[in-house]
Structures are given as structure tokens and as C-alpha cells.
């Protein structure tokens, strides 16, 4: 015959069953929402970085042909590209979103000026040094940016594989460009200045998009960078006397103008996707991607366009691409290792809780 206490427990257990099932459904729904949110975040990151890589790879050969056609006025080409970006983005006023003028000032006070300095020193440096020297120096940039980003901007996990992969990428670019590395004093100084401007610009862009983000839309950021950045570019055009060579711009062929128009359109896409990509990846990774694009475009030239090459250039390109893939693998492995302790910690906590509950029940049975 059931005791009085047993008969009292049966209704309580029956009433608790629907509540427990409801709680379980809530937990499943929460896990599903978290999984969908994580998948959406990964999709956005993949699209942003992938679009940046595509625009960058398209921009490189087009810009190379444009600069060859307008070799007398390189800074003017940059100014035309910036003004075109402003004009195109002006047609999309509904995409301009910002929280306050203070955010706009934070973005406009430094970043466009660094952006303009990076572009200007790049154009002028190529007049005093080879493309090989430019490529090698730019591959040094991620090695310098990595410790700066780690210690002064955002805490990044670094291991031997991450650092080694950057040096492998650098070694590959040196080997690839070994027949085209021509340094001069002026060229070297300009290349070093360009590298420092690029590092500072990428680090600051990463800070303002992810670490201490400004509340501005990507269109607003891109518009501001080009509108403000055009000012120092025009000043440099006056300083270098390039304005007196403007009549040569009117003597080009229809094909040259088509290439210039294509570079302006690609420039808008590259500027927008570059800012979007920096929301998801560190400045070091962003610079490495930019450098890898240069190598991949050169590989495309060898394989598809049958450009002249040697065994050292093929080996160097292979080593550089392998270094980039190694870096990607090292970063993904560190990200996975960083996520696992959290999961393990939660599992450990649950196990400890369950063990404590079992111990408590055992103690209660002993007391009974």
C-alpha cells in the first residue's frame, strides 16, 4: 500500500513534466538561434573577405594598364578615381548612416589622410624603384604589424606557425622578384614611408571598424575617405607640378579612357569591400591578403598570359602562396583552439554540477 508521502509526490512529478518539456524546447530554440546567428556571421565574413579579394585581384591588372597609359600623371589618375567614387556614392544617399558627427570626425580626421599618403607614396615610389622592390617591402609590413596589433590594439593569439608563415611568404616574394629588385636611396625611403603609412592606415581602420567602432555605414566611410582624401592628393599634384601635364590626359585613346573608367568603378567596390573585410579580419591578415593578391595576379600572368618567367619566379610564387595558405591554416587552428576551452569549460562545469548532485543524493539516501 503506497504511503501518504508517495501519493503526494505523484501529482507534483506529473505537473513538472510539461514544464520540463517546455524548458527543453526553449533550450533547443536558443541553441538553434545561436547556430543560425553564427552561420550568418560566418557567411557575412566570407562574402566580405571574398569580395575584397575579387575586387583587389581585378583592380591590380587594370590599374597597372591605366598607370602605363597615363604614366605622366599618376597622381591625377588617383584624384580622378577618388572624385569618381564620391560621385558614384553621392547617387546613393539613403546608404549614408551615421550615429553622430563625432563619429564622422573620428573617421575623417586621420584615416583619409593616411589613405591618401599611402596612395601618393606608392605612385611616386614606383618612379624610383622597381615593382620587385615594392612587392618585397610590402611583404615586410605584416611582420611589423603583427606584434603592434597584438600588444597595442587587440589581443591576438600568436604561435610559431603564424610568425613562420609570414617569413615564408616574404622569402617567396624575395625569390620571385630576385631578378627585379632594384633599390635606390630615394626609392627606398619612399617605399619605407609607404609601408609605414599602410601599416598605420590598416591598424587604424581595424580599430575604427571593429575594436572601437564608429557608428557609420560602409558607404559613409568610403565616401568620407575619398572626399577628404582627394584634398591632399590635389595639393601634391600642385606641389609636383603635375597640373601642367594635364593636357596629356586629353590625348589618350578610347581604350585608355575605358580602362580608366573601369578602374574608377572597381575602386569604389574595392574601397567598400576593404572596409567591410576589416570588420572581420585583423589588419595583419588584411595586409597579407593584399600582398597575396599581387602574387596571384603575377601567377595568372605567367600561366594565362604567358608572361616571361624563370624557374626562380615559379618557385618563389609557389613558396609565397604556400606561406599564405600556411598562415590561413595557422590562424584557423588558433581560432578553433580559442573556442574549444570555452566549450570544455562549460562541459566541465556541467560535469561538476552533476557530480555534486549525485553526491548530494547519495548523502540524502544515507541520511534517510
pLDDT tens readout for residues 50-79: 888 888 878 877 887 888 889 889 899 999
Say how many residues make up the chain.
368
- Orientation of helix 131-148 relative to helix 283-303, angle to 10°: 150
pLDDT value, residue 22: 66
Locate 177 and state its grid cell.
Answer: 622578384
Return left, alpha or beta for 241; rule: phi > 0 is left, psi -120 to 50 is alpha, else beta: left
Q: Where are the domains of the chain?
A: 56-344
What is the Cα–Cα distance from 256 to 71, expressed in whole angstroms? 12
**Is residue 57 within 8 Å of 290, Cβ to Cβ?**
no
Tens digits of pLDDT across the chain (368 residues)? 445 444 444 455 555 566 676 666 666 666 655 544 555 667 777 888 888 888 887 887 788 788 888 988 989 999 999 999 999 998 888 877 878 899 999 999 999 999 899 888 887 777 777 666 677 777 788 888 888 887 776 777 778 888 888 888 888 877 776 765 556 778 778 888 888 998 898 889 888 888 888 899 888 999 999 999 999 999 999 998 999 999 999 999 999 999 999 999 998 988 888 888 877 777 777 777 776 776 666 666 666 656 556 777 778 777 877 887 788 788 777 767 765 554 434 444 444 444 444 344 444 443 44
Beta bridge partners of 216: 98
DSSP letters of 105-147?
A: HHHHTTHHHHHHHHHHHHHHHTTTS-HHHHHHHHHHHHHHHHH
Amino acid at each position: 500500500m503506497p504511503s501518504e508521502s508517495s501519493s503526494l509526490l505523484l501529482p507534483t512529478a506529473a505537473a513538472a513534466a510539461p514544464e520540463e518539456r517546455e524548458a527543453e524546447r526553449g533550450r533547443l530554440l536558443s541553441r538553434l538561434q545561436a547556430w543560425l546567428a553564427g552561420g550568418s556571421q560566418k557567411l557575412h565574413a566570407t562574402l566580405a573577405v571574398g569580395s575584397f579579394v575579387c575586387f583587389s585581384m581585378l583592380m591590380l591588372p587594370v590599374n597597372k594598364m591605366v598607370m602605363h597609359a597615363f604614366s605622366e600623371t599618376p597622381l591625377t589618375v588617383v584624384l580622378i578615381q577618388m572624385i569618381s567614387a564620391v560621385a558614384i556614392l553621392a547617387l546613393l544617399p539613403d546608404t549614408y548612416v551615421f550615429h553622430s558627427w563625432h563619429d564622422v570626425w573620428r573617421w575623417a580626421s586621420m584615416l583619409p589622410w593616411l589613405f591618401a599618403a599611402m596612395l601618393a607614396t606608392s605612385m611616386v615610389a614606383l618612379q624610383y624603384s622597381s615593382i620587385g622592390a615594392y612587392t618585397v617591402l610590402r611583404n615586410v609590413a605584416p611582420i611589423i604589424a603583427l606584434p603592434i596589433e597584438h600588444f597595442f590594439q587587440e589581443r591576438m593569439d600568436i604561435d610559431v606557425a603564424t610568425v613562420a608563415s609570414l617569413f615564408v611568404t616574404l622569402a617567396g616574394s624575395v625569390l620571385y622578384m630576385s631578378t627585379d629588385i632594384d633599390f635606390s636611396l630615394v626609392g627606398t625611403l619612399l617605399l619605407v614611408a609607404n609601408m609605414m603609412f599602410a601599416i598605420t592606415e590598416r591598424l587604424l581602420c581595424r580599430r575604427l571598424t571593429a575594436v572601437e567602432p564608429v557608428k557609420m555605414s560602409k558607404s559613409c566611410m568610403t565616401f568620407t575617405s575619398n572626399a577628404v582624401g582627394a584634398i591632399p592628393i590635389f595639393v601634391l599634384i600642385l606641389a609636383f607640378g603635375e597640373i601642367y601635364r594635364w593636357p596629356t590626359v586629353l590625348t589618350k585613346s578610347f581604350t585608355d579612357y575605358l580602362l580608366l573608367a573601369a578602374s574608377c568603378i572597381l575602386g569604389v567596390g574595392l574601397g567598400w569591400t576593404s572596409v567591410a573585410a576589416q570588420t572581420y579580419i585583423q589588419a595583419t591578415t588584411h595586409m597579407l591578403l593584399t600582398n597575396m593578391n599581387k602574387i596571384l595576379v603575377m601567377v595568372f600572368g605567367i600561366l594565362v598570359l604567358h608572361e616571361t618567367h624563370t624557374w626562380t619566379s615559379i618557385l618563389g610564387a609557389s613558396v609565397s602562396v604556400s606561406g599564405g595558405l600556411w598562415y590561413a591554416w595557422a590562424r584557423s587552428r588558433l581560432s578553433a583552439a580559442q573556442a574549444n576551452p570555452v566549450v570544455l569549460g562549460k562541459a566541465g562545469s556541467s560535469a561538476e554540477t552533476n557530480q555534486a548532485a549525485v553526491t548530494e543524493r547519495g548523502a540524502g539516501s544515507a541520511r534517510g
